[in-house]
Amino acid sequence: LLFKWFRYICVANNQNGQIEHSFELQILNNSAPLIVDSPESKVVNPGEQVTFVCRAAGQPPPSIKWYFNGMEISYDDLHVELTQRDNELTIIHATREDEGVYQCIARNVLGMASADATLKVYLPNQQALDESLTNQILKNIVKEAKENVDRAINQSKSTINNGEMSPWEFMKMFKFNVPQNAALTKAREIYEQSLLLVQKYVRDGLKFPVYQLPTNFSFESILAVSNIQTIMELSGCVTGPFRNPCTDMCLYTKYRTYDGQCNNMEHQFWGVAQTPFRRNLPPIYENGFNTPVGWNPEKLYFGFKKPNPRLVSMKIISTEEITPHFGYTAMMKQWGQFLGTSSELVNAKPYSQTAPGLARQTYMKGAICNRTCENLDPCYNVPMPSEDPRMQGE
């Protein structure tokens, strides 16, 4: 790319002597972008991580942007990761929604260059699964899920209303005091319960090799996008509040809105009520969707089973003697827990609204959570070790 090379010498002298300094100047040719490392098409299993690479040469150095099915991929989409110079695009958890054409475009002042790659999420007997899940089947599944969730919630309410309440039982009533939060939680639970019923339908009703599926996957990742949309609509899931266009400047320069919209005119949706926070790191679920780590006690991580979390607390982060802090009280911890579990809406993919659970009974079997040792949605109990101080006191 060398066009010309020059050597300059600066000389300074007087009656006492002379000194000089030299430097070199290279003038490079400008050139339009050229893709030197193109992304490759891939076929992956559901739940796998996928990385596309795109590198380009040119002068001035070209900038790279990524597109999915013709739409530019945003940095705000935490479902994907972009490197600092956008040379690599990583899909953290591939689902059928990610199937399509990925295009990288390199641009500078002299022109542009592009390269395409396709992504296919493969599953055996995919066509048979798609054909079996008709709209009527999905309606029946969501209807059953609603009945299961309603039954569990009503039973939980009835146990709260019967007899005298302990402080712990009294606190449970607050979950039902805000209708919007209760509706949000109920819709989420119906949606997740519907996916579990889809899994049961596939296992019981189809000759489908469920045992051949990847270990880190959920049925959400293998269903057709249209089926997911149908289940979400029937479940009552919402994407958030209606977005205000913030065009009435006479109003918004004088007053603040009750839900936070239009209070920050540069970032109009920052701090808006019923809007999930943005995660710094992607969440980790055992099935890639909604089950916590340790849900299957036999699953190995790096060759080992996960230890009992209560045992970890006792052995690693416990103390025999509690000493007061010079500046803080236990209220600081309690306040942090309140903010972290009771008031936040946190996204999971990358935005999912995490609201508190309403039911204390399992949806399918009706068992009470604190009277069963099984991990059945929405119950996830931690077994108490025999040496636990709480067990010693009973």
Q: Is the pLDDT of residue 158 over 80?
A: no
Mean pLDDT along residues 39-53? 90
Q: Is the pLDDT of residue 349 over 50?
A: no
pLDDT of residue 211: 53
CATH topology of domain 31-121: Immunoglobulin-like (2.60.40)
> Which pLDDT value is given to residue 165?
61
Neighbours of 308 (CB within 10 A): 17
**pLDDT score, position 125:** 72
Q: In whole angstroms, give the CA distance from residue 325 to residue 339.
A: 21
Cβ-contact 284, 291 below 8 angstroms: no
- Which pairs with CB-CB distance under 8 Å and at least 24 residues apart come from 207-211? 208/125, 208/128, 208/129, 209/124, 209/125
| pLDDT of 30 over the 70 cut | yes
- Confidence band for 2, pLDDT divided at 50, 70 and 90: very low
**Token digits for 164?**
């005298």
Q: Confidence class of residue 351 from pLDDT cuts 50, 70 and 90?
A: very low
Higher-confidence residue of 154 and 293: namely 293
Residue 348 pLDDT grade (very low, low, confident, very high; cuts 50, 70, 90): very low
Q: How far apart are CA 325 and CA 268, in angstroms?
A: 41
Q: Is the pLDDT of residue 355 over 60?
A: no
| Beta-carbon contacts of residue 172 (< 8 Å; ≥ 6 apart) | 156, 160, 360
> What's the confidence (pLDDT) of residue 67?
93
Torsion angles phi and psi, residue 53, rounded to 5: -115, 135
Q: How far is CA 350 from the centre of its chain?
A: 3
**CA angle at residue 352 from 378 to 123, to 5 degrees?**
80
Separation of alpha carbons 4 and 29, rounded Å: 9
Helix (H, G, I), strand (E, B) or coil at 380: coil
Asked whether the predicted pLDDT for residue 357 surpasses 70, the reply is no
**Average pLDDT of the segment spanning 265-272:** 76
The answer to whether the CB of 295 falls within 8 A of the CB of 375 is yes
For residue 1, what pLDDT is reported? Answer: 44
Q: Answer whether residue 29 shows pLDDT above 80.
A: no
Peptide bond into 350 cis (omega under 30): yes
Q: What is the pLDDT of residues 358-393, one digit of tens each?
A: 555 555 666 677 777 778 777 788 888 888 887 776
Please, which residues have CB within 8 angstroms of residue 4's CB and are 6 or more apart in sequence? 26, 27
| pLDDT per position as a tens digit, 307-336 | 998 899 888 888 888 888 888 988 888 888
For residue range 284-309, list pLDDT tens digits in order.
Answer: 778 766 688 888 888 888 899 999 98
Domain map of the chain by residue range? 31-121, 126-240+275-322+334-392
Average pLDDT, the chain: 77
* pLDDT confidence tier of residue 194, bands split at 50, 70 and 90: confident
Q: What is the pLDDT of residues 209-268, one digit of tens each?
A: 555 555 555 666 677 777 888 888 888 875 555 566 777 888 888 888 877 888 888 877
pLDDT number for residue 346: 46
CA neighbor of 223 nearest in space, from 350, 99, 49:
99
Least reliable range by pLDDT among 87-91, 170-174, 328-332: 170-174
First-residue to last-residue Cα distance in the chain: 81
Average pLDDT over residues 151-156: 76
Q: Give the pLDDT confidence score for residue 304 in this predicted structure.
A: 93
Beta bridge partners of 63: 107
Where do we find the tokens 């309690």? 334
pLDDT-wise least confident of 48-57, 276-285, 294-303, 344-353: 344-353
> Percentage of residues in the chain with pLDDT exceeding 90?
16
Read out DSSP for 305-339? EPPPHHHHHHHHS--SS----SS--HHHHHHHHHH
Q: Percentage of the chain surpassing pLDDT 70?
A: 72
Q: In the prediction, which pLDDT does 89 show?
A: 92
Q: Which two tokens stand for residue 293?
A: 């780590």
Instruction: Report the distance separating Cα 244 and Cα 50, nearest Å.
Output: 36
Q: Which residue has the higher pLDDT, 337 or 19?
A: 19
